Chains A and B, each alone.
Chain A
Amino acid sequence: MAHVTEWLQAYHDGEIDARRATAVEAHLARCEACRVELAALTALSDLLRADSAPDLMPEERFVAQVGLQLPRRHAASRWERALSTGWRLAPVLLVAGWMFFQAAVVITTLILASMSFGDGVLTSLLPPAPASSWLEQLANTVGLAPAIDLLSVLGLARKVTLLTIGVPLVFGLLVWSWLASWWAYIRHQQLAANGERS
């Protein structure tokens, strides 16, 4: 016969469901060893509770003593509450900002791509445009036009790099800074609540 020892404590404390309680009771009805075990648990609880606590100090005196020691608590102003709410919402705002930026990049890229495609079709039908600046004229004269094109491409690449790496880096730094400050805040609260700073 399998005993129900592992359920006896929970049964004694009223912490098992009705179905299992019925099964435990059915077992107890036919198992002397488990009945003895349950009786021991009950006897221990009775013994512990027999030791009553000494008299407490009068209630009003206790309440008054606590009241006298309560430090003045600064009630948060409307602006402080708004600032606190804003700080809690900061990650949401950052994510929203990031999504907006990504959407703007995608849409801009699509527009530029469609425009350059259109430009390419049109310019192939037109005669080449005359050089607009003296630098381009000079470059055309001495045969350095490909170098100027390369510099333009590099300039564009730098802007693209700035957008695709720099902006996410800034967003990432902001998010991690917020997480670090949140962790520090929570840790501070836990230490304070645990009384370890007292």
Chain B
Amino acid sequence: MDPNAHLMSDEQALVARAQAGDRSAFSELVRQHRSGVVNVVYRICWDMALAEDAAQEAFIQAWTHLGDYRPRSVFRNWLYRIATNRALNMVRREKQVSNVDALPLVDPVPGPEQSVARSERDSAIRRAVLALPPASRTVLVLREYEGLSYRDIAETLEIPIGTVMSRLNYARQSLRQSLAEYLEAP
């Protein structure tokens, strides 16, 4: 038996209650998926303030359209579809999101030299990912940062699995070129 089956059925029960108008059930769903949704949106726009706003908007939109969700698809995929669309719309609207140098860094390292090197590396990563076409960037984010399977990515973005693979391949090849300096360094 699939160990996730129990969790899935619990989630489906929460979804059914939320569809019937139960706000506390929806709050529980928000609690469960908040980290993933914010992370996906953040990796698409690389701006934490915008990401949290967009993630909240995505949850509100999900609540509004919860009646359209059908249990035959995974709830997380349905939610991520809303979140990625929200993030991509926001990226189109907001031109200043590429101001990656202004972004806060986390997990400070002990020494100042290491800190500077890490800061430069992280900025380079963000610039490289932001330079990808939005379609490839979204597939890369769902795979590398959220660990979704090809099938789940295809369902989330409503594209064929072959397109998932080709976009992922393109994104990785592009990043290998733009981040070559950091890939070669130990």
Contact = CB atoms under 8 A, between A and B. Distances in A.
Interface of A: 9-10, 13, 15, 40-41, 43-45, 47-57, 59, 62-63, 65-67, 69-71, 73, 75-76, 189, 192-196, 198
B122 A51 contact: yes
Contact of B26 (A48, A70, A75): A70
Nearest to A189: B68
Given A59-B31, A73-B66, 12 more contacts: A15-B150, A48-B140, A49-B145, A51-B126, A53-B38, A54-B106, A62-B34, A66-B30, A67-B23, A70-B26, A192-B65, A198-B57
B144 A45 contact: yes
B107 to A, nearest CB: 6
Interface SS of B by simple majority: helix
30 contacts: A48-B145, A49-B144, A51-B126, A53-B39, A53-B43, A56-B35, A59-B34, A62-B30, A62-B52, A63-B27, A65-B56, A66-B30, A66-B60, A67-B23, A67-B30, A69-B56, A70-B23, A70-B63, A71-B63, A71-B64, A73-B21, A75-B20, A75-B21, A189-B68, A193-B61, A193-B65, A193-B82, A195-B57, A195-B61, A198-B57
Contacts of A15: 149-150
Contacts of A192: 61, 64-65
Contacts of B26: 70
Contacts of A59: 31, 34
A195 B86 contact: yes
Contact of A189 (B31, B43, B59, B65): B65
Interface residues of B, number: 57
A44 B182 CA distance: 9
Contacts of B121: 47, 50-51
Interface in B137-170: 140, 143-145, 149-150, 165, 168-169
A56 B145 contact: no
B182 A47 contact: yes
Nearest to B43: A53
B38 A56 contact: yes
Contacts of A54: 42, 48, 103-106
Contacts of B150: 10, 13, 15
B172 A44 contact: yes
Contacts of B23: 67, 70
A48 B34 contact: no
B85 interface: yes
Contacts of A62: 30, 34, 38, 52, 55-56
A73 to B, nearest CB: 6
Contact of A40 (B65, B82, B183): B183
B82 A198 contact: no
B59 A193 contact: no
A65 B59 CA distance: 11
A44 to B, nearest CB: 6
Nearest to B161: A15
